[in-house]
Each structure stands twice: as C-alpha cells, then as structure tokens.
Structure 1
Amino acid sequence: MAVSCPTKECMPESEIYEDVKDYYGRVLKSTSDLKSNACLTPATPVAPAVRRVLEEVHPEVTRRYYGCGMVVPECLEGCRVLDLGCGAGRDCYMLSQLVGDRGLVTGIDMTEEQLDVARKYVGYHTKKFGYKKPNTEFVQGYIEALQEAGLKGSFYDIIISNCVVNLSPNKKHVLKEAHHVLKDGGELYFSDIYCSHRLPAEIRTHKVLWGECLGGALWWEDLLRLAEEVGFCTPRLVAASTVTVGNKELQSLLRDYKFVSATFRLFKIPRNVSNESCRVIYDGNVTGHEDFLKFDAYHTFRKNEVVTVDGELASILKMSRFAEEFTFQDHAENKTGSCCVMPKAVSWNPFELELPQGGSADASAGGCCGAQPSCCP
C-alpha cells in the first residue's frame, strides 16, 4: 500500500523520509553496517527472562534489528501493543510471547524492505509460540500518521518505540498520533537518543548523522515540553546510558554535543482526573516482578511496602493497567503503623543519571523511590 507524506507541514522534509527509507531498507543489511554505536547502546541490562524470549525470534529478524534500548514494559498479559517503527519485527515477536494469545502486537513501519522480512515470519513465530492464530500484524505507514494508516483511536494499551522517534522530522506529530490511538490510561514506553542541547542545522541536515540516530536527536527538555503540549503526563525517566559514537569522522562533526540513550514512559491520563497524593501498596502480582516493581528511575515499589506518591503518579497508577496491582489508601487509612517511604524531588534529566565511559544508571538502587525508608509521621 502506498502511503503519502503524513502532513502538509512535513512536505518540505519529505527528503528525510526517503533518505531514512533508503538507509534502513537498502544501505543497512545488518548491525555491522552501522557507522556509529548509537543504535547499539542498551539503556538497560537485558533480564534473563527477556533474553530467553529474544532467543526464540528467528535469526534473520534479529540480524535486521537496529535499536538503542530494551523496550519491555511490565504487566503485558492480554494487552494490545503498538510498535512504532517496528523494522523487521524483532521487538514485536519478543512482545508477542509476553502478551500471550489473548493479546495483540501491531508493528508499523514506512520501509517496505523491513516489513517484508517481518511478514515473512508471522507463520513461523505463530507455530513456534504455540498459538492457534497469529497475534502479530504489520502495517506500512508513517509514525506521524497512524490514523491515515488505519489504526484505531483509543485502541492500544501500550505503544513502544526503539530508537525511531529521533528519525522523524516532526516529533510533535508522532506524540500527538500516539496519544490519539492510546486508551485512557495507556502508555507510550520508548527508548531513544537525546542530546544535551538543541542541535544546529548543519548536524540536523547531515544524512549519515540522521540515519545513525544522532542528527535527529531531541534535546531532552523539548521532550518534556512536547509531551505536555500533546496532553501526556510528565515523561518519567526509566534509565539512561552514555552514547559513544565510535567514529572519529562523525565525532568531529558533532563537536562537544553529548548524547544519551534513554528510556521514558509517558501516560495518557484525562485532565479531569483527581490529582491528589495518596499511599499505595504494591501487591507483588506482576509476572517476573513478584518482589518489587521498578516503575521508573526514582520509584521502585517493594511488595507490601506502604509508599506515599505524589498526585500525578497516584493518577497514573489508578488509571493505567497497573491499577489492579496496587492497593490504594488515603493518608487517614494508614492505622497499622507500617513503615512507608515518602516521595522526594526528582529530576527527569537523563544526563544526570548517566555514568562515564558508557555506563548506565538509575536512581532506585538505594531503596524505594530512591530514598532511604522513613516511617510515616
């Protein structure tokens, strides 16, 4: 199916779409063809359970994978998931095992060569995973024009994206379309490359730097601004790791600009929802996270521990797919004398979490909410 350029505003940038299609459809045949390390930098370590499901994906699909992080949100059973810029389908087939036969994974990509590989193995993975019918589907289209590609509004529980938003010349349209197709309480969970400052035109228009996920990198503060304009809650940083370019010629063009691979989660919560802080208790029933649930870089909920959360996080937990995984109580209900963890001020700047020399970091290692436990007053 032929797909037109998504919006009139994007027409002057149509050359970018063709360049990206050519780069990922014909120039790159495997990860060894990449000229930098940007699309090889995982923001978070790969958990053993995820590694096992990745091993079930067909080798040809895995060879055509170009991503900067690991996009595996929790609590996936039975969910409808959309993968923006799915490429050859590696993440789709990984997630299809985690949503189960009652779930659905849809992949959308503008590059026909990549989709040909993804569609080739639908039957293979359906049989391998023991499903009676496929729970994956692939659509050709632009991530800035999900409605034009035929995707339903308020349909998906979760949207993922792995090192693709930076390739779009109109990132606000990507977020706007994602917001439209998500259900209320739905989540955009994605990894991407971010820059320490806004990039100048000579970097943003460099074809190789754009194709290598560097030229189109968003200044992290612009993500927070665009998310608010579209209607998402504050982007919550999950993890970040330093990006090393690994190419002297490209590094000289980039001068002193610094980059990180970061994973954020954005939730679609109606604006009229009550935004009051409360106490929550994680019940420990999310598969693979029975002892604790790391929600973002500053909030790790431990089973049966009473935690005070701010109004926005309380609304997210109550409205999203996580609602059944927590017990909620107002401050007056805590009569047990249980110890709880109080909220602390946080920064969503991924450069404040990064470690030198390509390390990765999060802020939750010191205890729930990144703070030492303290008893409730």
Structure 2
Amino acid sequence: MTDEQLDAARSTLEYHEEKFGYSNVQFHKGFLEKLDQIPQLKDASFDLIISNCVINLCQDKEAVLRHCTRLLKPGGEMYFSDVYANRRVPQVLKDDQVMWGECLSGALYWNDFENLARKVGFVDPRLVEDAPITIESADVQRAMDEAGQQDLSFYSATYRLWNMPTPKLEPHCEDYGQAVIYKGDIPRYPSGWLLDKHHYFETNRIKTVCGNTYTMLKDSLLENHFDFLGDFSTHFGIFDGCGTSMPYDDPFGKKPGSTGKDGSTKGSCC
C-alpha cells in the first residue's frame, strides 16, 4: 500500500460516510506481519476482520494470523478469501516471479493452512466456499510443466475463523445432541443463512449441529438470530460425517473432496 493509494482512499472518506451511514472508518499504513506496530489497533477490539487475497503474498503467514487472534474480541470472526493449493508448492515455483505476480507462489497447501490456523488459536477453520483456479497464463503453465507439477492445482477459497480457543471449540466435531433454529431475521437473509459450506440454516427449521457449530452461533454476534436446543451435559461421540479429506470441490472428480455422482461430498463435516 502506497501513500498515494491511501491519499486517494482518504479523499473519498466523507462521501462514503454519507452514503453508507458509518463514520468509524480509518486508514492506517503498515505491514500485515507487524500489526503490533500500528498503535491504533488495540488488542481484543475487533468484532470482524476481513481480508481478500493478500495473505498469500506475506512471507510470515503465522505472524499475520497470530495478530488477528490478538486483535479479535472473544467470539470475533476472521472472514477472508485467499489462494490455496492441493499440495505444497515446490521452491522452484515459489521463486518464480511470474507466479508471484499471479498470487500463486505464496499459496499454502490447504492442510498446512488449516493446521496453522489451529496452531494460532483458530481451532475449527470453516470453509465457506471454494472454486478451482484455471491457469490461463502460458508462462505459468510452462513453469509448472518444467517443474513436473502438472497435477498441482490452485483454488480460491473463503474461510471463517472464529476466535474461540480451546476448550470452547474442540479439535473435532463432537455430538452433544444439540440443535438450532434460525429465526430468519438477519437483513437480506429472510429464507435462510449460510454459516459455511456444510451448514445452511433454513428459517424456522430445526437443524442438528455439533458442539463447535453450536458454540460458534451462541457465543458470537449471531446469538440473537438463533434459538438453541440442548446443552453440553451428554456426549454422544464424534459427530457423524466429520472427515479430513481435501475439502475443495474438483470439477473433474479426480481429487479427494470432490462431489461424487451421488451428490455427496467426501470430507464434509457436520
């Protein structure tokens, strides 16, 4: 981010305050890996952090995620989109400048990302949506071919990460016989609301959920939009269907996590 870009953003601040009705907008210059050097960003002061396809360009991704857990309030959420890979990107491609420019070289292997998220305190990363990235650059395809990485695939994926560390969230989806009912009162979502790729809540319909999903809804800003049934007094074992395969859909049906002919999704969770 350059000073010129910040000046351009600040020049439109008054217009956007009037148009959208919010005056609590500020722009600060800094590095994502060094958010602690921006004094205006206080610990536990954010309800929501949004990022769009930039963390893959950071060298120290763990530092970025750690700062986000520090800045979020308890029950706060990090909602962001980025680029991920179906396997670890080899060093020869990480050093390729064209692939860096295409936001591919810095893509994390999806399982490394999810494990990193858990390591810093985002215990149960939730995938909201994903789509395969088509390689349209001849230079990028040539680099991948020369590196023997024809089966390397990239995906655009959106995640929700909740700042609810253990013991509130458990490492796996556990069954406590709980259920929730969406009230249909979130603006623009009168018929239903999507929490993540495997949790769509139809208005006024009882839906069984695992303990983690129950907690994400009850101990966050979403609490008033749901009715909650059950508690944590009885444990019934692992929640059926909680898997560890690659969660992204493959349109060709060749990779784990793809949608099968029966419409099921391998690796789906409660």
TM-score (structure 2 length as normaliser):
0.81
3-state DSSP of counterpart to 1:187: strand
Kept in 1, the 8 Å contact 2:124–2:169? The answer is no
Kept in 1, the 8 Å contact 2:123–2:166? The answer is no
| Residue among 292, 310, 319 paired with 2:192 | 292
Calculate the aligned-residue CA RMSD, in Å.
2.7
3-state DSSP of counterpart to 1:140: coil
**Equivalent residue letter for 1:248:** A
3-state DSSP of counterpart to 1:138: coil
| Residue among 217, 223, 227 paired with 1:323 | 223
Runs (5+) with no aligned partner, structure 1: 1-109, 333-341, 372-377
2:230, 2:35 → 1: CA distance? 39
Equivalent residue, structure 1, for 2:139 = 249
CA apart distance, 1:290: 1.2
Equivalenced residue count is: 243
CA apart distance, 1:343: 5.9
Kept in 2, the 8 Å contact 1:167–1:211? The answer is no
Equivalent residue, structure 2, for 1:134 = 23
**Equivalent residue letter for 1:355:** P
1:1-377 to structure 2, matched below 5 A, reads: 110-129=1-20, 131=21, 134-150=23-39, 151-255=41-145, 256=150, 257-273=152-168, 277=176, 278-330=178-230, 344-346=241-243, 349-351=246-248, 353-356=249-252
Percent of aligned pairs with the same residue?
38
Kept in 2, the 8 Å contact 1:298–1:346? The answer is no
3-state DSSP of counterpart to 1:139: coil
CA apart distance, 1:274: 7.5
1:175, 1:120 → 2: CA distance? 30
CA apart distance, 1:306: 1.2
2:80, 2:259 → 1: CA distance? 16
1:158-188 alpha-carbon deviations (Å, 9 max, x no partner): 1111010101011111110011000000111
2:225, 2:259 → 1: CA distance? 23
Runs (5+) with no aligned partner, structure 2: 233-238, 253-257
2:169, 2:54 → 1: CA distance? 34
2:195, 2:48 → 1: CA distance? 15
Change in Cα spacing, 1:113 to 1:348, as seen in structure 2 (3 Å) is farther
Kept in 2, the 8 Å contact 1:236–1:348? The answer is no
Q: Which structure is higher in helix share?
A: 1
**Equivalent residue letter for 1:230:** V
3-state DSSP of counterpart to 1:147: helix
Change in Cα spacing, 1:235 to 1:288, as seen in structure 2 (3 Å) is same
Equivalent residue, structure 2, for 1:60 = none
Kept in 2, the 8 Å contact 1:309–1:343? The answer is no
1:243, 1:212 → 2: CA distance? 11
Kept in 1, the 8 Å contact 2:123–2:165? The answer is no
